[in-house]
Structure 1
Amino acid sequence: MGVVELALVLIVLLLLLLASGLWIALALSAVGYVAMAMTVSTPPGQALAASMWQAGNSWDLTALPMFIWMGEILYRTKLSDDMFEALAPWMQRLPGRLLHVNVVGCGIFAAVSGSSAATCATIGRISLPELKRRGYDERMAIGTLAGSGTLGLLIPPSIIMIVYATATDQSIARLFIAGVVPGLLLIVLFMGFIAFWALINKQQMPPRDAAMTLAQRIAASRRVIPVVLLIAGVIGSIYGGLASATEAAVVGVALSLVLSWWMGSLSPATFRDALIGATRTSCMIAFILAGAAFLTTAMGFTGIPRNLAEWISGLGLSQWQLLTALTLFYILLGCFLDGISMVVLTTSIIIPLVQKAGFDLIWFGIYVVLVVEMAQITPPVGFNLYVLQNLTGRDIFTIARNTAPFFVLMCVAVALLAAFPQIALWLPSTMFDR
């Protein structure tokens, strides 16, 4: 059997296993086992044990459960209530007014969460009822929240960046810092679109709230100071060279516990729920990474990634053509898989291609996160769409239509990132290569 035929057989097998409802980690492991059994004499069981142990025995991976736990703790606080009250007075004078709270609020919570779904749910549970009560257009309220919720993947600390760094042996700290400017770019694009929409749809905007003095706005902002201090403690410790990403994750957990206690949200029940939630999510991700590690090992034995890379190289695609093809591939894949599964499933095949094409792997990691963000708002498996379905009661496809403009803005961000790689590379090169 040729390499192409073998690749097709394995792809069909994987799709069948995933469609059957089998756990993703088990599906990946099963495909790897079949691949090795069909092509080499090396016992698959030995490779399975060795690759899974190596995947789990990673110090960098320690940051994953810590950041997830931090997000779980904060999810159970009154953070979203305080954030809305603190940001609303400052957004009143902007075109679009309180619709900007979704964007800025998601950007702030993303810096202490690392999860797209958690960001969307935390901000949405307070902002959507408030915006509806004040008469804002429901379609824009839903769209801004769905699009902005994806910032949880891009603005550090990001769970999916840790997964990518572990799978490709890249620096977590560099990836975190590389995501800052693209994250701010996406916030600017979203807020710019909201302002433009508001200016041409003035009749759909509710009346302004009563004006507040500067002193009143500053007083309201005090409610978000603890969150800013938490962000400064986590990200600042990395930027300042005081802690690695793993050590900063522990700092974040400690600070989030203190913040939760200070806000009166910390109790034995919430502590237990946050710990159990973080354990479940961390185990799920670690299991998927272990299955993907074995599949990567098996693919190395079969030679499929190497032959595929040589075949694509033989097509003579330019960097732009390759990126366009990869973007379409990830968007399509996002219709069926969650973001973490997309990254671990494609790493073994895609990375040799992008290395041969001359792409920087830190830059490519930010690119992957951006296109995976896009997958968070594509039906039928966009996680943010499901979160909003639970919050609003609307069907998935209605929510997806409301989110379409923000999907287009993400495509613009991908194009800008491809045209100007320094958007992602400037800050890490400034911080680490001095």
Structure 2
Amino acid sequence: MTELATGLIVLFLIFFYLGLGVWVFIGLISVSLTVQFFILDMSPDTIGAIATKIMVRSASSWELAAIPMFIWMGDIIFRTDISRRLFDGLAPIVNIIPGRLLHANIVGCTVFAAVSGSSTATAVTVGKISLEELSARGYDRSLAVGSLAGAGSLGLLIPPSIVMIVYGILAEVSIISLFAAGVLPGLMIAALYSGYISLRAKTGDGIVPQVAEGGGGNIPRVRLADLVNLLPVALLIVVVLGSIYSGLATPSEAAAIGVLAALVIAFVTGQLSLDLLTQSVMSSVKMSAMVVSLVVAAALLSTTMGYLHLPQNVATMISGMELSPYALIALLAAFYVLLGLFLEGISITVMSLPITLPLIVQAGFDPLWFGVFLILMVELATITPPVGFNLFVLQGLTNMSISQIARASMPFFLLLCVGVVLLTLFPEIALWLPETIRGGGG
């Protein structure tokens, strides 16, 4: 059987099992077992031994411990008023920028992303606070919804990020370096979003209300009480990211410290209760089980593809096409946009990495840079119908149709594409900060 035929069979099996509507991790494991039995002609005993060894080893990775901790920390914040305090603290500050409170979506999602690690949690939390507030004050609803869809995806890029941890484990890249690599690209995307909102506010009528929230067109004063509202989130960011970048804690240890800090804040503000603990733990366990099961299934699929020599053969085939590095990136970008029509971020990462990472390394790209590139492509998937998670989240918050939300999100989809181009042309946007931190540490 030729390499092309083998690759097409594996691709068919992936879409076949996923098309049955089974959970993604079950579909990936089924593909691996089917290939091992029918194509590699392995005996059931051999298949069982390989599957047990690979899945136990991948599930025992110490780095995986960070995932449930970061998810739990974000869930605690979601169930307290910390996020509302964040919005209240940001509102007077963003009022001085053209577009005023519309920027609260961008800044709020950027800041909240630094303590949640999840795109969905970021969009839901900020959206629950901001959308009704913006509509009541007369801001353009379409732009408010679109900006939230785009900015919510920053939960994947601004560290700590669950997808970054998954990528770091699978690609064997330093998670601390990945976290550092995501900071400047995340701020760049946020700046592109805010710049677009400011431009729309200056050129379009009805985007923002005529009178500023302070009344009389005056710029509202930023009071000390407003800044105090930002302290809980600021404290969490300093505790989590500060402990990582200072070298005092690994990402897994920093995640545990973040959970403790979130619980302390909930206690100090009088919101810690048995009900909050129970709900946050149950929600986090469910989400963590989903993520870890995908990582385990992906490890088995990656091993199976290795037995087939599929990644190496695909790399050789594309290498034979003599594509330039930029042409390869364009091809992979189109591939990821296609995957984003049907799959969510972690599934995209674990399914594609065994094939795409060898291509990237062979073309001379830094795997650290590719991690940020991949996460930007995953961000595109969160606002791409028909399976864009942020679109479904916003549909539940607004009762708008998916098509309406997708149209409102389109400018921010295009701005993300601009961000991908800038990152490709100027890789230092992602690589400068990790190299600086490593240099400082050396």
TM-score (norm 2): 0.96
Q: 1:203 to 1:291 in 2, by over 3 A?
A: closer
Distance in 2 between residues matched to 1:426 and 1:136, nearest whole Å: 38
Alignment of 1:120-199 (within 5 A): 120-199=123-202
Partner of 2:63: 60
Partner of 1:397: 403
Encode CA deviations 1:103-134: one digit per residue, 9 max, x unaligned: 00000100000000000000000100000000
Q: Say yes or no: does 1:209 pair with 2:213.
A: yes
Q: Say yes or no: does 1:40 pair with 2:20.
A: no
Q: Say yes or no: does 1:19 pair with 2:19.
A: yes
Distance in 1 between residues matched to 2:198 and 2:402, nearest whole Å: 26
Partner of 1:365: 371
Partner of 1:285: 291
* Partner residue of 1:419 out of 416, 422, 425: 425
Q: Say yes or no: does 1:100 pair with 2:75.
A: no
Q: Is the 8 A contact 2:77 2:83 kept in 1?
A: no
Partner of 2:341: 335
Q: Is the 8 A contact 1:69 1:274 kept in 2?
A: yes
Corresponding residue SS for 2:229: helix
- Structure 2, unpaired ranges of 5+: none
> How far off is 1:202 after superposition?
3.6
Alignment of 1:243-258 (within 5 A): 243-258=249-264
> How far off is 1:66 after superposition?
0.6
Distance in 2 between residues matched to 1:80 and 1:397, nearest whole Å: 28
- Structure 1, unpaired ranges of 5+: none
Q: Say yes or no: does 1:8 pair with 2:8.
A: yes
> How far off is 1:41 after superposition?
4.5
Distance in 1 between residues matched to 2:161 and 2:266, nearest whole Å: 21
Instruction: Please tell me the residue identity of whatever aligns with 2:22.
Output: L
* Partner residue of 1:275 out of 252, 269, 281: 281
* Partner residue of 2:386 out of 363, 376, 380: 380
Instruction: Please tell me the residue identity of whatever aligns with 1:45.
Output: G
Corresponding residue SS for 1:145: helix
> How far off is 1:189 after superposition?
0.5
Partner of 1:348: 354
> How far off is 1:213 after superposition?
5.8
> How far off is 1:219 after superposition?
2.2
Instruction: Please tell me the residue identity of whatever aligns with 2:401.
Output: D
Q: Is the 8 A contact 1:155 1:180 kept in 2?
A: yes
Partner of 2:121: 118
Aligned residue-pair number: 433
Distance in 2 between residues matched to 1:40 and 1:280, nearest whole Å: 34
TM-score (norm 1): 0.98
Distance in 2 between residues matched to 1:283 and 1:205, nearest whole Å: 43
Distance in 2 between residues matched to 1:398 and 1:341, nearest whole Å: 26
Encode CA deviations 1:137-166: one digit per residue, 9 max, x unaligned: 000000010000001000000000000011
Corresponding residue SS for 1:380: coil
Corresponding residue SS for 1:204: coil
Q: Is the 8 A contact 1:309 1:352 kept in 2?
A: yes
Q: Is the 8 A contact 2:99 2:207 kept in 1?
A: no
Distance in 2 between residues matched to 1:109 and 1:74, nearest whole Å: 9
> How far off is 1:354 after superposition?
0.7
Encode CA deviations 1:71-97: one digit per residue, 9 max, x unaligned: 111110112221121111111121100
Corresponding residue SS for 2:343: coil
Encode CA deviations 1:307-332: one digit per residue, 9 max, x unaligned: 11100000001111011111111111
> How far off is 1:204 after superposition?
3.3
Distance in 2 between residues matched to 1:213 and 1:366, nearest whole Å: 38
> How far off is 1:174 after superposition?
0.6
Instruction: Please tell me the residue identity of whatever aligns with 1:119.
Output: T
Distance in 2 between residues matched to 1:263 and 1:355, nearest whole Å: 49
Q: Is the 8 A contact 2:212 2:219 kept in 1?
A: no
The two structures, once aligned, show a CA RMSD in angstroms of: 1.1
> How far off is 1:209 after superposition?
1.3
Distance in 1 between residues matched to 2:100 and 2:219, nearest whole Å: 14
Distance in 2 between residues matched to 1:220 and 1:212, nearest whole Å: 15
Q: Is the 8 A contact 2:86 2:108 kept in 1?
A: yes
Partner of 2:90: 87
Instruction: Please tell me the residue identity of whatever aligns with 2:213.
Output: D
Distance in 2 between residues matched to 1:427 and 1:413, nearest whole Å: 17
Encode CA deviations 1:166-214: one digit per residue, 9 max, x unaligned: 1111111110011000011011111000000000014432021124664
Q: Is the 8 A contact 1:73 1:274 kept in 2?
A: yes
Instruction: Please tell me the residue identity of whatever aligns with 2:183.
Output: V
Q: Is the 8 A contact 2:336 2:377 kept in 1?
A: yes
Q: Is the 8 A contact 1:77 1:263 kept in 2?
A: no
Distance in 2 between residues matched to 1:301 and 1:256, nearest whole Å: 45
Distance in 1 between residues matched to 2:157 and 2:224, nearest whole Å: 29
Corresponding residue SS for 1:86: helix
